[in-house]
Amino acid sequence: MNEPVTADVVFALASIDTEEIDPILTPKGRKLVDLAERTACAPDMRKPVRGTALGELVNKPISSNPELARTLRTGLELPRTGFSRPLMLSQTLQDDSTVLHESLRYLAEAQLSSNRVTATSYLTGDRATAERQELDAVLKFLTGLF
């Protein structure tokens, strides 16, 4: 199980109006959504969702309710075009809070859509090296702006 991703999904479900989301939540899903509504920080949700598969949150596929699926998709979708200012997107390959292939796809799509986007990823053997490389890249990007 990937607790950071599960926590993010629970927060997304908590952002939907209760009457729209309640019919598809399992009792466990309702309990976690209620907790997310009272919790300000995603890392605080990691322990409560530990060991929970995404399918345990709902009693039927979200896609069975097209309006709900559209609401979630719209609310969670990151912009891929329309960048009017310089933007740096960065992804370490040691990040356990994202679905890596989706993050890399997003970096590529955003960068291809605009010459204002700088996208960088870091393939390293450990998190500390990735964080140092990322900090260096951010500082270089910011220096180039001013």
Identify the domain boundary among 76, 97, 127: 76
The span from the CA of 138 to the CA of 143, in Å, is 8
pLDDT of residue 1: 56
pLDDT digits (tens, 9 = 90+) for 53-111: 989 999 999 899 899 899 888 878 888 888 889 999 888 877 777 778 888 888 889 98
Identify the domain boundary among 33, 55, 76: 76
Identify the domain boundary among 19, 49, 76: 76
Question: Phi, psi at residue 116, to the nearest 5°?
Answer: -85, -10
Q: Does 95 share its domain with 126?
A: yes
Q: Does 63 share its domain with 93?
A: no
120 falls within a domain: yes
Q: Would you place residue 52 in the very low, low, confident or very high pLDDT band (cuts 50, 70, 90)?
A: very high
pLDDT digits (tens, 9 = 90+) for 6-16: 888 898 899 89
In this prediction the pTM is 0.67
Q: 17-25 long-range contacts, Cβ below 8 Å, gap at least 24?
A: 20/65, 20/67, 20/68, 20/71, 21/68, 23/65, 24/58, 24/59, 24/60, 24/62, 24/64, 24/65, 24/68, 25/57, 25/58, 25/59
81 falls within a domain: no
- What is the number of structural domains in the chain? 2
Q: Is the confidence at residue 35, as pLDDT, over 90?
A: yes
User: Which of 25-29, 35-39, 71-75, 95-99 is least confident?
Assistant: 95-99
Strand segments, DSSP code E, in the chain are: 87-92, 117-122
pLDDT of residue 66: 92
Q: Does 50 share its domain with 72?
A: yes
pLDDT of residue 28: 96
pLDDT higher at 46 or 63: 63
* Residues of the domain holding 56: 3-76
Q: Does 100 share its domain with 133?
A: yes
pLDDT higher at 112 or 40: 112
